Amino acid sequence: MKISKIMTRNVRTLEPERSIREAATLMADIDSGALLINEGDRLIGMITDRDIAVRAVAAGLDGNTPVRQVMSSNVRYCFDDEDVEHVAANMADIQVRRLPVLNREKRLVGVVSLGNIASGHSRMANDTVLRGVTSAH
């Protein structure tokens, strides 16, 4: 099965000059712990609730701090035409709980998470990703 069959589409994104307060508000609104950051039509980063807590709040930055200042710019991703088992193995290897999904033109088309993998009806993929991301760092 291809990732495109199980991924979440219509992903909400945020621009890098928006504030971390706006990022946190959007996370609360969509009930997500992470947001993808885009500049124009390109994915350039990701910000998580942990990034906001550790890189911003703990460092004494205020809510008006631009997302760009605390986001992670080294974003791992997969392609929409990859097999679920391959992506699950990759997620386990790099110990991540979610990956942006790009098309072959490197445009964002969705996101795949542990929940997507678990609901994808591939026991092997489910076992692989859960074993990898829940192992100790």
pTM of the model: 0.81
Which residue range(s) make up the domain with 2?
A: 1-133
Altogether, the residues listed in the chain come to a count of: 137
For residue 40, give the CATH number of its domain: 3.10.580.10
Q: Grade residue 50 by pLDDT with cuts at 50, 70 and 90.
A: very high
Which residues are CB-neighbours of 45 under 8 A, at least 6 positions away? 16, 36, 37, 67, 68, 71, 72, 73, 75
8: left (phi > 0), else alpha (psi -120 to 50), else beta? Answer: beta
Q: Does the pLDDT of residue 35 top 90, yes or no?
A: yes
What does the pLDDT look like over 67-122, one tens digit per residue? 999 999 999 999 999 999 999 989 989 988 889 999 999 999 999 988 898 886 65
What share of the chain has pLDDT > 90, as a percent?
A: 70
pLDDT of residue 115: 84
In the chain, the number of structural domains is 1
φ and ψ of 76, to 5 deg: -85, 150
Closest C-alpha to 63, from 34, 14, 23: 23
